[in-house]
Structure 1
């Protein structure tokens, strides 16, 4: 997966970049078909904002989080939201295939004993 991390009004330090990289691996663990992710970290006055767009096979997932404490807390909230979206997307894909397989199966009548 390609990962693009950028900072807006923020110096992107190596520890911050490593933190985002380790957190995004959690999302990769849940869903293997991720193509790329764009993460933008920004600071406006005292608000720390983290937003991400993840391009997966079949969907584009977007989430953002704004926290007043620090950037690490904003990244945690962002990754929780993305993780929830990827799990929901994975469930939709899995349920869709089950429904398709059920439609293809011929109707079977119960046999009397």
Structure 2
């Protein structure tokens, strides 16, 4: 191949790859998607960690406290964060419920009033 052909091929391949990747979006999972949905785990969650809330980003925002989640066969702390209020909804916190010999994780969620 001549140098112009190699350059044209390389630019064409780069353009095609760019177009293919343009439709890919990597975004964090929404807050409500946290949670373990498998069998109940046998290890009780540790006590909640102490969290210090930073200043709210805007008046009226709601602090969503941190919680223990089950990931990679162990409890992992997920820190709290601020969320904008949702008119007509109330926040139901994350919780662990006893189920038989184990514990089942119930993620927090916004519930219509």
- Tell me which interval the TM-score lies in, with the shorter structure as reference length: under 0.3
Q: So what's the TM-score if we normalise by structure 1?
A: 0.27
- Rg larger in structure: 2
Question: Which gives a bigger RCO, structure 1 or 2 (Cα 8 Å, sep 6+)?
Answer: 2
